[in-house]
Structure 1
Amino acid sequence: MSRYTDDLVLARQLADAADEITVARFRARDLAVRSKPDRTPVTDADTAVEDAIRARLGNARPADAVAGEERGGAARDTGRVWVLDPIDGTKNFLRGLPVWATLIALVADGEPVVGVISAPLLGRRWWAAAGAGAWLADAAGEHRLTVSGVSELADAYLSTTDLGSWVEHHSRESYLTLADACWENRAFGDFWSHCLVAEGAMDLAVEAVVNPWDVAAVRVLVTEAGGRFSDLDGNPGIGGGSALSTNGLLHEAALRLLRHGRTPTAPRAT
């Protein structure tokens, strides 16, 4: 049990509502798409999901703040804030690829304490709450998650999102140094890389650029599964602009390699 059990129940209900919207709009011929100022796409499904969740939170948790990718707000360091990414993987969503999810997190005094990640086209939902462990529901049922026990990079599986993001936001060379040190590397991308770390299927997931709504739910999932989360400087918060999830055993070794060759003035997403 967790002191946030009721909030987790609510978050899972919010994810149910989000899934109804996203599944109905997936591959819709009339899907409306526009570009945001940073040139990332947003669809009518993104805004519809965030608006629906905000409306339900307004009724269920009127005293709580809300921060979301599409409608704004900040994941502040005091009080309770629900942090939303209505569709993580919008580029996949609009291209008809099934790898996308709704991310819902509750952040209390700057610390993510509840996280739900729902990927309906993958048939998978992950959730966690502080002190209650991390869980996955899929076609095989519900499973409590535990990170892997791999202790050497030479035996590790690594995943990232996009190699091009490393050129712009961190250092392509530092990522390739880490990839070369690992046994295998993949690009499952976005939320899924981090969820696979929580499952123990991957050992490290790393992203050169993220926003708080990309990683708030991820952080509580990975840490409740026994892993470790930080930005690429080793800071454990969700506002550092980058992300590294590991099984914990590999974290420091990965940070050392990622710091090698980094461009000090690399830009971050806004």
Structure 2
Amino acid sequence: MAELSNETRAELIDVAHALADAAREATLVHFRSLALTAESKESQRFDPVTVADRLSEDRMRAILAQRRPQDGILGEERGSQAGTTGLTWVLDPIDGTRSYLAGTPTWGVLISVADETGPIYGIIDQPYIGERFEGGFGRAQMQGPHWQRALATRGPRALADCLIMSTFPEVGTADEAAAFHRLARQCRLTRYGTDCYAYALLAAGHIDLVVEAGLQAYDVQAPIAVITAAGGVVTDWQGQPAPQGGRILAASCPDVHAAALAVLNG
């Protein structure tokens, strides 16, 4: 794909923020509503989807249909739509629907645009807190109700001084969970349940590692863009690019990434 012009990059950034604004409004309509219910997308485990998930994605798709109709779309709730430009918008209308249902403010909206190499720009937005993290096209910054500042990951440190996060303590299969806990035991502090907000915290320099498994492209592409722009590293558990998800290791810097990779692989 040819290098994008500055005008195209500016347009993509503007559209991404318009999507985030629309999703923020849609998700807050139902957040902490006592009438909110959910259905499960799976029969064997509770994988919830709500009216807010679908409304959020529908609002974003409507904007793309108007402003970038030739681009592809991959969304968690409405599937894929082919495009002709070589660019694909990857949308997670609510990452952390379980947290959304529980009323905790750690869920978020994930928006990224990708070419054939993977995500090139992304946004992690937390509507209730009002914080937005973006990365790509030479940008790495956050804005919120208290400040606006550049994003920069933490520097090298021993695993014994690292803070590690994951959404679920059980982390995927039994073998994957065992590998995660082997790594977590070597770290200073382990926290759970933060969904995509953990990746934002890593990009902002507050933690060192996020380790997860069983993820999809829409779960990881925005975090990959934001963390990479902030100076971090995101791969699979073998150290390879992971734009399609799977087992994810996000680290603050190459040294911490290499140390964590060695522990995960025994």
Task: Identify whether the pair has TM-score above 0.5, normalized to the shorter chain.
Answer: yes
Amino acid at match of 1:44: V
1:85 is matched with 92
Name the stretch that deviates more: 109-118 or 224-233.
109-118
Tell me if structure 2 keeps the 8 A contact 1:69–1:86: yes
Amino acid at match of 1:26: F
Pair 240,21 (structure 1): closer, same or farther in 2 beyond 3 Å: closer
Equivalent residue runs for 1:2-13 within 5 Å: 4-13=9-18
2:167 is matched with 161
* Separation in 2, partners of 1:190, 1:257: 23
Name the stretch that deviates more: 29-38 or 245-254.
29-38
1:180 is matched with 185
In the TM superposition, what is the alpha-carbon distance from 1:171 to its structure 2 partner?
Answer: 2.2
Give the one of 17, 26, 29 matched to 2:31. 26
Tell me if structure 1 keeps the 8 A contact 2:168–2:193: no
The CA deviation string for residues 162-213 of structure 1, in whole angstroms up to 9 with x for no partner, is 01234x2642221111111111111143211111111110011111221110
In the TM superposition, what is the alpha-carbon distance from 1:110 to its structure 2 partner?
Answer: 3.2
Q: Does 1:47 pair with 2:54?
A: yes
RMSD value, Cα: 2.0
2:223 is matched with 218
Equivalent residue runs for 1:1-270 within 5 Å: 4-37=9-42, 39-73=46-80, 79-130=86-137, 132-166=138-172, 168=173, 170-248=175-253, 249-260=255-266
Pair 87,240 (structure 1): closer, same or farther in 2 beyond 3 Å: closer
**SS of aligned partner of 1:98:** coil
Name the stretch that deviates more: 214-223 or 134-143.
134-143
In the TM superposition, what is the alpha-carbon distance from 1:222 to its structure 2 partner?
Answer: 0.4
Tell me if structure 2 keeps the 8 A contact 1:126–1:137: yes
1:268 is matched with none
**SS of aligned partner of 1:197:** helix
Pair 201,141 (structure 1): closer, same or farther in 2 beyond 3 Å: same
* Separation in 2, partners of 1:89, 1:199: 20
* Separation in 1, partners of 2:229, 2:259: 21
Pair 4,223 (structure 1): closer, same or farther in 2 beyond 3 Å: same
In the TM superposition, what is the alpha-carbon distance from 1:14 to its structure 2 partner?
Answer: 0.9
Unaligned residue ranges in structure 2 (runs of 5+): none
Name the stretch that deviates more: 104-113 or 2-11.
2-11
Q: Structure 1 segments of 4 or more deviating over 4 A?
A: none
The CA deviation string for residues 99-126 of structure 1, in whole angstroms up to 9 with x for no partner, is 2111110011232111111102123111
Tell me if structure 1 keeps the 8 A contact 2:23–2:59: yes
**SS of aligned partner of 1:190:** coil
In the TM superposition, what is the alpha-carbon distance from 1:75 to its structure 2 partner?
Answer: 9.6
Pair 196,188 (structure 1): closer, same or farther in 2 beyond 3 Å: farther
Tell me if structure 2 keeps the 8 A contact 1:227–1:245: yes
Amino acid at match of 1:255: L
TM-score, normalising length: structure 2: 0.90
Tell me if structure 2 keeps the 8 A contact 1:162–1:187: yes
Tell me if structure 2 keeps the 8 A contact 1:8–1:129: no
**SS of aligned partner of 1:134:** strand
TM-score, normalising length: structure 1: 0.89
Pair 122,63 (structure 1): closer, same or farther in 2 beyond 3 Å: same
1:265 is matched with none
**SS of aligned partner of 2:101:** helix
